[in-house]
Chain A
Amino acid sequence: MDDDRVFKALADPTRRLLLDRLFERDGRTLTELESELEMTRFGVMKHLRLLEDAGLVVTRKAGRAKLHYLNPVPIRQIYERWIDKYTEHRVSALAELKTQLEAG
């Protein structure tokens, strides 16, 4: 999955809300998700589709129902690519500053 699709999918408050709803309770149908949002069924479907294309939501069939699951792996990959790298430097810079000040 490319980062662009993940960032675009995350750059919308409704889609972030949908992810939070799935984080609270995973494996939900469109009908369940729709009932909590002030939005048409079509609108919710469209947002879920974008989340699915970005790999953030995975659907599974359970009998006749289509269940939506939050897939956190792309977020983990963004974390490793964008957060770990920069915060590690910050933390080590702060640790170095602390050492220097304490050695005073």
Chain B
Amino acid sequence: MTTVTEIQTTQVYQVFIKATPEQIWEGITNPEFTKKYFYGSSIESSFEVGAPYLSLAGDRSQTLVDGEVLEADPPNRLQVTWRALYDPETAAEPHSRVTWEIEPQDGGFTRVTVVHDQLEESLKTAESVSGGWSYVLSGLKTLLETGKPLAG
């Protein structure tokens, strides 16, 4: 039995948020929202298939993530390619893929699932994002449920 942790090339993150699918969609596509929970970054895209998907630093001086929209079905599903440019090692790797699944549940809740996959050739990226998605989804939940960004 091994105790060495393998780098996970398919990662799944899920959270239940008391908000509508439309609010979730707004939360992940509107830069005014993403700035408040996504490491201060602005998401820039027209969200049309084939359009660029960019994440810009707060002062817009730097592109943190670049990719392309593969699928956009508001407010249910968004799939983009993903290359992290904030680190020279991850920037040198090929694009991976991020899928957002947004599904309404009972009681006014919506289930949000992020699947980050196609990381087989992008192991530095896999390592780098593995803590980040929990922080981002937790921040999205706090923002949409309380109207406030996470403290700190």
Contact = CB atoms under 8 A, between A and B. Distances in A.
B10 A80 contact: no
B135 interface: yes
Nearest to B2: A24
Nearest to A24: B5
B138 A77 contact: yes
A58 B113 contact: yes
Interface stretch (B13-21, B47-55, B67-75, B81-89): B13-21
Which secondary structure characterizes the binding site on chain B?
A: mixed
Nearest to B113: A58
Interface string A91-102: 000000000000
B28 interface: no
A27 B10 contact: yes
Contacts of B150: 80
Contacts of A71: 12-14
B1 A26 contact: no
B4 to A, nearest CB: 7
Interface of B: 1-6, 8, 10-16, 113, 115, 131, 133-135, 137-138, 141-142, 150-152
